[in-house]
Amino acid sequence: MDVYIEEAGYEAGDRRITNISFQVQQGQLLGLIGPNGAGKSTTIKTLLGLLKHAKAQVKLGGANKSYAYVPEQPVFYEDLTLWEHLDLAAAAYGLSYETFEATAEKLLSQFGMEQVRNDLPAGFSKGMKQKMMLMLGFLVQPDIYIVDEPFIGLDPRATKDFLRLLEAERRRGAGVLMSTHVLDTAEKICDSFVLISGGRMTATGTLEDIRTQAGLPEASLFDCFDELT
């Protein structure tokens, strides 16, 4: 996926983010990092085509490429159970019933959600809602995952399960763009980073590149982030 955002905002004339460009390659995990209000979610909404006032180009990298978006705030239908949400997503992406059933069963067990498969998500805890959103993404096995802050609300076990699944998807060839504040995890799992601050790209590249740009050769991602923002 190639992303080039010249400018984007929430109203006409609002240049909330400017000159942000990056690539997500097959099997690659790109971390989108930056302080609160920096423009990470705005970047994601822009590349999804959700902002009306945007000058941007996004190429998925092929006519049949698919993507799944996992939002920061869970979005769900009040009247559909967890299983019905999975069924609906599978239908929307054209999965066969057999593939849907087998994959959905596996995900329910991997995320420890079998007991609540027939429950309405309105009664789920924050972490359970987050798990549902992640399951909906993993179910459809897209070419590209766009994940907005997945870690908040997940317990350590769920975080581990999520990271294991993400790793398997990358081995399958899926590319991932993930925004997060959890910098120690990001440092361990991301191949490269885009650091956004005040609506602009302030650093980009591998951890080594970011260290060079921060002038801190041995530093953690957190210390580079601190220096560059």
The answer to whether the beta carbons of residues 6 and 199 sit under 8 Å apart is: no
**Cβ 100 to ligand ATP shortest distance, Å:** 32
Does 74 sit near ligand ATP (CB under 6 A)? no
Count residues contacting ligand ATP (CB under 6 A)?
Answer: 10
**Side by side, which strands form the sheet with 192-197?**
67-70, 144-148, 175-179, 29-33, 192-197, 200-205
Q: Is 37 in the site for ligand ATP (CB under 6 A)?
A: yes
Among 24, 30, 31, 42, binds ligand ATP (CB under 6 A): 42
Residue 154: CB minimum distance to ligand ATP, A: 16
Among 41, 141, 202, 204, binds ligand ATP (CB under 6 A): 41
User: b vs e for 99-133, b when ≥16 Cβ sit within 10 Å of the residue's Cβ?
Assistant: ebeebbeebbebbebeebeeebbeebeeebbbbbb
Q: Determine if 10 is a binding residue for ligand ATP (CB under 6 A).
A: yes
Closest CB to ligand ATP among residues 42, 103? 42
Strand order in the sheet with 2-9: 17-23, 2-9, 53-59
Task: Give the range of 35-43, 121-129, 130-138, 163-171 binding ligand ATP by CB under 6 A.
Answer: 35-43
Compare residues 41 and 141 and give the one whose CB is closer to ligand ATP.
Answer: 41
Q: Judging by DSSP bridges, how do beta strands 200-205 and 192-197 pair with one another?
A: antiparallel
The distance in angstroms from the start CA to the end CA of the chain is 26
Give the separation between CA 134 and CA 166, rounded to whole angstroms.
10
User: Which one, 41 or 185, has the nearer CB to ligand ATP?
Assistant: 41
What residues numbered 83-112 form the site for ligand ATP, per CB under 6 A? Answer: none
39 is a site residue for ligand ATP (CB under 6 A)? yes
Query: Residue 12 interacts with ligand ATP (CB under 6 A)?
Result: no
Taking CA atoms, 18 is separated from 42, 54, 201, 202, 224, in Å, by 11, 10, 8, 11, 22
Site residues for ligand ATP, 43-72, by CB under 6 A, read: none
Contact between 180 and ligand ATP per CB under 6 A: no
Tokens (6 digits) for 187: 């440092």
Q: Give the residues lining the site for ligand ATP (CB under 6 A).
A: 10, 16, 34, 36-42
